[in-house]
Structure 1
Amino acid sequence: MTSTTLSPRDVGAAAPARGRPRGGDDAALLRVAAEAARDFAAPDPRIFWADMLASATLGYAALVAAILLHGAAAWGAGVVAALALYRAGSFIHELTHVKHAQLRGFRLGWNLAVGVPLLAPSFMYEGVHTLHHARTRYGTIDDPEYLPLARMKPWTVPLFVLTAALAPIALIFRFAVLTPLSLLSPRLRATVVARYSALAINPAFRRRPPEGALARQWRWQEAGASLWAIALVLLVATGTLPLRAFLIGLGVTSAMMVVNQIRTLVAHLWENEGEAMSVTAQYLDSVNVPPPTLLPALWAPVGLRYHALHHLLPSVPYHRLGAAHRRLVTALGADSPYHAANHPGLPQLVARLVRGTLRG
């Protein structure tokens, strides 16, 4: 969910889509997926609220412990804080797909509890992530969340992760400095909206100004994040917030961003070079890491371990993706392309990506 600083030259062959989509669609796969989408579409507000609030509470409590403790105990608390807040923050993905009438107040609650405090309010993702799911945009130069990483230079992979480590500092600067300054300069404001208001990885992406309900959400969320960022800077500058506490908080949020960026590295195979793709081809370029492996519950929480399935069923809430996956596995034969997007784990996926960059 973080932005990289790779230049368009490094992106290589990504280009606007032309002609027919690459790859054909598998009719049986799409039929079973459509049935699952109908049957598993309803979110359970109780699960959403309990999961988000429990994750945020654990994360903030562990962050306080990391600040107050020392040595191994502080490091352990920091790890718990990073993973718990990462899970809480991952609900920003659900907010981009869910019908808000089915989860009344959840967007407001999430932004107050997680989005604004972590300087990643939902306007940074809403209106952006859905472009990644547009059939004619996926994998093209118009996709804000796609780079042909497997076709790029080997050094782009560590650079991709490094930029995430620096993201918390960039977000403080964006909201504490650029937001107030942009109110004084229409030209700067246009730049901030276009280039620094999206959690995207495609450096060529330029965001359009928001309209309607999103514009109203944007205003209050950006104002809240800006006030919070300015307050943090002032609290540290005046010594009210000890520098050690601030740096620990910065380290925890940096660790969150790095874990998410590593997850992003393996969310897709990143092998498309700019052509439009069929739905089945998009699915096969995406990744599931289903059970029985357990670690994806930590590094790909809130349904992100079923990222390929999510591209087939974007309207299905995270807590029902496991049941949808089991249905598709049962309903589709062994020769179905559905099984080709299921992978064993993180190390194998990272190794595949690195091998792709070495071949390039």
Structure 2
Amino acid sequence: MTQPLSGLKVLDFSTLLPGPLCSLLLAEAGAEVIKLERPERGDEMRSYEPRAGVDSANFVLLNRGKKSVGIDLKSPDALALLTPVLKEADVLMEQFRPGVMDRLGLGYEALSRINPRLIYCSITGFGQHGPRAKEAAHDLNYVAASGTLSLTAGCDGAPVLPPALIADIAGGAYPAMINILLALRQRDQTGKGMYLDVAMADNLFTLQYWGLGNGALGHWPRTADDLVTGGTPRYQIYRTADNAYLAAAPLEDKFWGNFTALVGLNEEALAGLSPASAIAAVADAIAKHPVAHWEDVFRNQDVCASRVLSLEEARHDAHFNARGLFSRTVTAADGAQMPALPVPLDALFRGPVHSRPAPALGADNHLLNQ
């Protein structure tokens, strides 16, 4: 089957995570992705630790199947060197602060005159305009600014670090991919390219749909107060006797009835308690036995309860391996190999990009001399 993005050429000026993950998804679906990097040093992520050969494991995972061109964008002849590939490009991605690409002569208005069909996607933290548009920030700052971090507070009331780069991925890479595909579809209809402004902080509000809905009715969410922020025994993390943890989410009545019966509690009696007292009663019951006991008790039961796995345990879990999540490998530029990053694309759309290595810096500079 021909891949859906075969024949598409993507110029990726981005670094680190949001843009490179988006262009990895495009490459997995068949696009030719050319990564534009600083000469000598390249994408800063190449230097991260630990290493998978000469480059970091992070870089290898996110940049497999792409091409690399090393070019100094501040050089007087940069635009002239890039013009031939710019004329052929379908998509351009960049991740600089607002105004940087314009100053380099590579802004959308200038490039759309060279290539009117170009889809130009800018990924930034706070967007291209607004009071915070040029503010220096990273994932944690966007999560904080969107109100999301405030809902992670533990028992001492202090927010905790998120376990994933939520803004970079859910607010940046995924929305960029969605909007690029929509823009390509619109170009099919109009023949014209367009400019896309993807703001990571903006897109985090979508994840807070429930909190915004509650807030619109006068009940802004707080930690240990709402359905999914710790305000009910039906959505909690409980410690077991052996200091492991059980994630319990029996929200619906049928699940809650099964859960309470299996832990030896009376559902009606719990209903008469305050939420805090009900949580404490369940916590006491769970704490009487080790996690293996609860796994046996809950096995094949409809209770929505599961042991909290470490990432290492999850990586080797029989279910995910049966689904082939880690069956592919990725090769670094110097031949080092490691399991490839699972990506949310159906296998029908994915080609053999995993068989192509992450590129060495400047390995495809010849593309500018054609």
Same fold (TM over 0.5): no
TM-score by length of 1: 0.24
More helix by share: 1
More strand by share: 2
Tell me: higher relative CO, structure 1 or 2? Use CA pairs within 8 A at least 6 residues apart. 1
TM-score by length of 2: 0.23
